[in-house]
Amino acid sequence: MKILLVEDEPNVVSFIKQGLEEYHFSVDAAYDGKMGLSLFAKNQYELVLLDIMLPYLNGIEVCKEIRTNDNQTPILMLTALSSSDDIVKGLDTGADDYLVKPFKFQELLARIRALSRRKNSGKGLVFKIADLELDTNARSVKRNNQVIKLTPKEYYLLNYLFRNKGVLVSRSDIAENIWEESFEKGSNIVDVYINYLRNKIDKGFDKKLIHTVTGMGYILKEN
């Protein structure tokens, strides 16, 4: 796997690059946002590790620019910012996942492997229910032939619901599969993203497809 690492701290670059190369990953490093975009434009990468606090262009701006032309390459944000608002902002710009500094190398490795599996899962499949369609090859979503733009996290959430169509999935199931972490009691991140998704694929349509089973979870079905 060829990875682009965009990080301005030399010690962090050395730590990540050396560790990943020991696992036979190929890593190119950029030390600011402009350099990161330049390398991304010139090469084919299978994953981007992107710090938020960068010179010239910050990680949010770099992520937005990448997503204007590329909705396929997974982006993992590396951030010292751990508030929910900062995390949601990063994900909403098009990032697929985040990792808060400082982190253990094995945790980074696990996130990379998870994103790689997620990218390749259901490759080439087209899921359908009622007039809603998700094309995993194009990573596109349509309802009643209208294109619906989803953030990567919303896309993965809908993909997961499709792969479990007609099956009740709990909040903890969703959290562990989409956020790759245990569900913390009191967290409402799953409910927040379900609402985001409903506003895009159910709002304005007579037939609702995402249903809540009170106290248990969610299910994607026609009625």
Please state, in angstroms and rounded to a whole number, the distance separating the CA atoms of residues 41 and 36. Answer: 9
- pTM to 2 decimal places: 0.62
The residues near 39 (Cβ < 8 Å, ≥ 6 apart) are: 4, 28, 30
- Please tell me the CATH code under which domain 126-220 is placed: 1.10.10.10
Say if CB 75 and CB 116 are below 8 A apart.
no
| pLDDT tens string 12-64 | 999 999 999 998 899 999 999 999 999 999 998 989 999 988 999 999 999 98
Reply yes or no: is the peptide bond before residue 102 cis, omega within 30 of 0. Answer: yes
| pLDDT tens string 112-148 | 888 887 666 555 678 999 999 998 877 889 999 999 9
The residues near 129 (Cβ < 8 Å, ≥ 6 apart) are: 162, 165, 209, 220, 221, 222
Assign domain 2-120 one CATH number from 3.40.50.1100, 3.40.50.2300, 1.20.1630.10, 3.90.1170.50. 3.40.50.2300
